[in-house]
Amino acid sequence: MTDRFRVTLAQLNPVVGDLSGNAIQALNAWKQGRDAGANLVALPEMFITGYNTQDLVMKPAFHQAAIAEVEKLAVAMADGPALAIGSPWVEGGKLYNAYLILKGGKIASRVLKHHLPNETVFDEVRIFEAGPLGGPYAVDDIRIGSPICEDGWHEDVAETLEETGAEFLLIPNGSPYYRNKMEVRFNHMVARAVETGLPVIYLNMVGGQDDQVFDGSSFVLNPNGALALQMLAFDEAVTHLDLERTADGWRAIEGDKAHLPDEWEQDYRVMVESLRDYLRKSGFSKVLLGLSGGVDSAIVAAIAVDAIGAENVRCVMLPSEYTGQESLDDAEAVAKALGVHYDYVPISEGRAAITNTLAPLFAGRDADVTEENIQSRLRGLLLMAMSNKFGEMLLTTGNKSEVAVGYATIYGDMNGGYNPIKDMYKTRVFETCRWRNANHRPWMKGPDGEVIRPNVIDKPPTAELREDQKDSDSLPDYPELDAMLDILVDQEGSIADCIAAGFDRDVAKRVEHLIYISEYKRYQSAPGARLTPRAFWLDRRYPIVNRWRDPS
């Protein structure tokens, strides 16, 4: 009887749709496990396809190709440890989210996901069939239970596995980040360990996919919930875990326990990793953005430099007659501090040409927001022209406060392929700038020290589209606005909730109105890093045309 069992945990970064590339990653991890004497090499949920596949996995040609890739892997790994890998699976004409165990040149066992999440970014109920509650599978003479991701959050799957003879739980995950989710996961897994009396191995993937970032942070618990192993957050890693049989059952031997970052570092790392992977996985290596002298474009420039290096970032100042010297000085200071390429492209001449072209049509009408938006759209046109010419992805820089209430010009400053701060309210942008000035980590490619000078953070925010314009002319002050947005958007609260929190009813109603009428803009906006469970895109899906308003 085996008294010691080694599991190689492969916390890796798959690419959605890159079946052969993901298979190569799996094979390399298996070789590391084989060389280390592992009995089992484990990969995360849906690893062969990458995750989250959304409707792509329903395409028969795609899921058939994924299964064929796993079958080829099984043959290549005929001699050596077993491999457990997440994959689609078809059985009885139905499509499942499965965990496949490869051994002896074939798919020896399979687990089918039972609880299918149908909330936040997940639509698995419409994509997959729910598998039955099942028992453990055997590797050598050890019986292993593998609740797949969501199954680990429900006690029935783990209890069924324990009752049918599982000796430890290996839980493969495709669990994307939101702020403080690490603690939420840990609490659920402690519950599973205590309920079943079994060691729990929580294995998550890493890397960015569209708006989502998988943060890794894999860990191992012993039956009392005590932490035995903690892997790094966000970094790829292959780690060997030993379990030993004791008089009281299997126990994980303690290993390294990595430090997990606080929520400010987590959020910043997510914005960096999401941009880095979005570029890498979509085939871009360089970016550009408009640098206005304001706080939003400054933090996006810092994120871009930390993600791909200053040599791959172009910042462009596009001043009009309303751009103050303070903004010019601040933008140049940020560009110099970050070490990026900096272009100066005045728009006054182009704006005058457009104004003259439209003058006969607009004769007799007062200037209004139309003329302001022309400036923004001209900037968007010029930035997109540079993006086309230089092959650099344009980044857009609107924070969540602006995205929520539509304080942005569609086809203007909303132009771009990705928005790293799309899910970060303005008040957090200010604090994140301060955090970045005070903190530097090895994974940052940008310089240490103050990269966003204090005046950029402390001055009143302005779009500078008219004389002496301030954001507060059009919106409540950001601390007040963000607090109401948290109630109305993140908490799905009511006007009554805003009033109970001390806000004026008329102001809250106006904010609510702005949220609803801006829906069409959000449908056309760039994707961006998901930081919360109520990010704009898959987390919050509202109709564009909607006349309902809260009557309270």
297 marked among binding-site residues: yes
Whether residue 313 is annotated as binding a ligand: the answer is no
57 is in an annotated binding site: no
Does 8 belong to an annotated binding site? Answer: no
What is the distance in angstroms between the CA of the first residue and the CA of the last residue of the chain? 68
364 annotated as belonging to a binding site for a ligand: no
**Omega of the bond prior to 52 within 30 degrees of 0, cis?**
yes
List C-alpha distances in Å: 548 to 188, 320, 505. 38, 39, 17
402 labeled part of a ligand binding site: yes
**What is the C-alpha to C-alpha distance for residues 526 and 521, in angstroms, rounded to an integer?**
10
Catalytic residues: 45, 113, 149
Q: Which long-range contacts (CB under 8 A, 24 or more apart) does 105-108 make?
A: 105/74, 105/75, 105/77, 105/78, 106/71, 106/74, 106/75, 107/70, 107/71, 107/74, 108/82, 108/137
CA dist list (Å): 50 to 17, 85, 269, 385, 483: 6, 11, 21, 33, 36
How many degrees, rounded to 5, is the angle at CA 531 between CA 525 and CA 535? 45
Can you state the percent helix, strand and coil of the chain, rounding each to 5?
Answer: 40, 20, 40
The reply, when asked if residue 397 is annotated as ligand binding, is yes
Residue 19, annotated ligand binder? no
181 labelled binding-site residue: yes
The alpha carbon of residue 255 and the mean position of all alpha carbons in its chain are separated, in whole angstroms, by 28
Q: Binding residue per annotation — 417?
A: no
Residue 79 assigned as binding residue = no
| 405 burial type by CB count under 10 A (0-12 exposed, 13-18 middle, 19+ buried) | buried
Is 31 annotated in some ligand binding site? no
**27 is known to lie in a ligand binding site:** no
Find tokens 């941009």 and name the residue: 275
Residue 172's DSSP bridge partners are: 203
Is position 294 annotated in a ligand binding site? yes
Binding residues for ATP: 290-297, 397
Binding residues: 175, 181, 290-297, 373, 397, 402, 521
Binding residues for L-glutamine: 175, 181
